[in-house]
Amino acid sequence: MEIQENVELKDYTTFKIGGSAKYFCIAKSTEDLQIALHFAKEKKLKFFVLGGGSNLLISDKGFGGLVIKLKFESCKVNKNKISVDAGLSLSKLVHLALDNSLSGMDWASGIPGSVGGAIYGNAQAFGTKISDNIKEVEYLDVKSLKVKKAFKKQCAFTLKNSIFKKNKDLIVLSAIFELKKGNKEEIRKNVLEHINYRKKNHPISFASAGSVFVNTEKKITNKNLLAKFPELKYFNSKGAIPSGYLIERVGLSGKQIGGAKFSDIHANFIVNTGSAKAEDVLKLIKLAKQKVKKVFNINLETEIQLMGF
Ligand SMILES: Cc1cc2nc3c(=O)[nH]c(=O)nc-3n(C[C@H](O)[C@H](O)[C@H](O)COP(=O)(O)OP(=O)(O)OC[C@H]3O[C@@H](n4cnc5c(N)ncnc54)[C@H](O)[C@@H]3O)c2cc1C
């Protein structure tokens, strides 16, 4: 495995933003990953594990350590179980399930990125989370460089979170998904419906990193707010307030700073209109946090992950 120097990173992300990595490598196996981590340890470098780069904002200055792009991608189907490597794209997992008439992954159609990245952030859509169908996860413990296993319970999955997000020294290597036998045509129909929904409701013609903020699980009880924003009662009953709604209501839908803009189609997306800098995106994030705090007394939690800041 080659460790390259000064590699431009923006094309490894869906945002198309960011500087260069001082060191960069593509790990095609656990052994490659162990070699890369050993290199980082020897040189006293920080490391960053990169999946599909679809939930990521990289600093304009880049990253002074080693970026390890995971590219181990094997998969195996055994009855209703699918074992997949962390570097496999989520869309390949969706299609593998479909081809084998297994239901439970159709909600993920159209979500870019890798299986490892989806487990790290407990990816979710249309009311289903990746953790719903996970049986176990194999991971590398960076401290000991040993491969370990965690059953679903031990992964501490919560809203857009997992043990792998809380502890950056645990790198997802592979996972086993337990799915249900289903009707192939029905699964195909669901997959297409979800893709069509995204085409209609997400700004897919622009570069982005998906939802910028996690939806808020707080209930609003302030009478003035409930009177001014009647939709909040509905969100209270659902248990989560969409961040896109909050951003729209504070008047930031369509707001542009430099080349970055809150999408007019879905306000929880910041799109790169062509020449956005990471600094532009950060300014928009800061502005939304300030305004939403002032109007709704809600602290927005940033979902997109940062590298090099
Ligand atoms: C158009 C669009 C639509 C989207 N829609 C959705 C959606 O509906 N639902 C949703 O949840 N997300 C959505 N996203 C966000 C994103 O696609 C998901 O969060 C995805 O799961 C991220 O995976 P990734 O491989 O790209 O991770 P990356 O962006 O590469 O990395 C994200 C974080 O995960 C860590 N990571 C990656 N791989 C591993 C690993 N193997 N072990 C440990 N840590 C790892 C990285 O270090 C980083 O901190 C969308 C994004 C876009 C651009």
| Domain-embedded: residue 250 | yes
Instruction: Express as a percent the part of the chain with pLDDT over 70.
Output: 100
Is residue 307 very low, low, confident or very high in pLDDT (cuts 50, 70, 90)?
A: very high
34/50 same-domain check: yes
What pLDDT is stored for residue 309 in this prediction? 96
167/221 same-domain check: no
Q: Which of 14, 87, 17, 85 is nearest to 55 (CA)?
A: 14
Distance (Å) from CA 89 to ligand 1 centroid: 10
Q: From the centroid of its chain, how far is CA 34?
A: 24
Burial of 93-131, coded b for 16+ CB within 10 Å and e otherwise, reads: bbebbbebbbbbbbbbbbbbbbbbbbbbbbbbbeeebbb
| Domain-embedded: residue 26 | yes
Is residue 4 very low, low, confident or very high in pLDDT (cuts 50, 70, 90)?
A: very high
Provide mean pLDDT across the span 59-77.
97
Give the domain range for residue 211: 203-307
Report the CATH number at residue 295. Answer: 3.90.78.10
Is residue 25 very low, low, confident or very high in pLDDT (cuts 50, 70, 90)?
A: very high
What pLDDT is stored for residue 305 in this prediction? 98
Distance (Å) from CA 114 to ligand 1 centroid: 7
Distance (Å) from CA 50 to ligand 1 centroid: 9
Distance (Å) from CA 226 to ligand 1 centroid: 34
Mutate to test the pocket of ligand 1, among 28, 54, 271 (most ligand atoms within 8 A of CB): 54
55/90 same-domain check: no
- Total tally of structural domains belonging to the chain: 3
What does the alpha-carbon distance between residue 78 and residue 90 come to, in Å, rounded to a whole number?
18
Considering the chain, what is the average pLDDT of its residues? 97
DSSP, res 102: E
- How deeply is 220 buried, as exposed, middle or buried, from its count of CB atoms within 10 A (0-12, 13-18, 19+)? middle
What pLDDT is stored for residue 236 in this prediction? 95
Report the CATH number at residue 160. Answer: 3.30.465.10
Residue at which a domain ends, from 53, 70, 87: 70
Distance (Å) from CA 122 to ligand 1 centroid: 9
What pLDDT is stored for residue 221 in this prediction? 93
Of ligand 1's atoms, which has the minimum distance to the CA of residue 113? 26
| Domain-embedded: residue 192 | no
Is residue 59 very low, low, confident or very high in pLDDT (cuts 50, 70, 90)?
A: very high
Identity of the residue numbered 59:
S
Protein residues with CB under 6 Å of any ligand 1 atom: 14, 48-56, 70, 86, 111-114, 116-118, 120-121, 123-125, 164, 171-172, 202, 204, 208-210, 305
| Domain-embedded: residue 197 | no
| Domain-embedded: residue 39 | yes
Residue at which a domain ends, from 70, 97, 127: 70
What pLDDT is stored for residue 157 in this prediction? 98
What pLDDT is stored for residue 270 in this prediction? 98
83/41 same-domain check: no
DSSP, res 130: G
33/94 same-domain check: no
| Domain-embedded: residue 273 | yes
Of ligand 1's atoms, which has the minimum distance to the CA of residue 70? 41
Nearest CA to ligand 1 atom 3: 210
Provide mean pLDDT across the span 215-240.
94
What pLDDT is stored for residue 84 in this prediction? 98
Q: From the centroid of its chain, how far is CA 177?
A: 18
137/233 same-domain check: no
pTM confidence score: 0.97
107/122 same-domain check: yes
Residue at which a domain ends, from 45, 70, 95: 70
Burial of 235-257, coded b for 16+ CB within 10 Å and e otherwise, reads: beeeeebbbbbbbbbbebbebeb
Instruction: Express as a percent the part of the chain with pLDDT over 90.
Output: 99
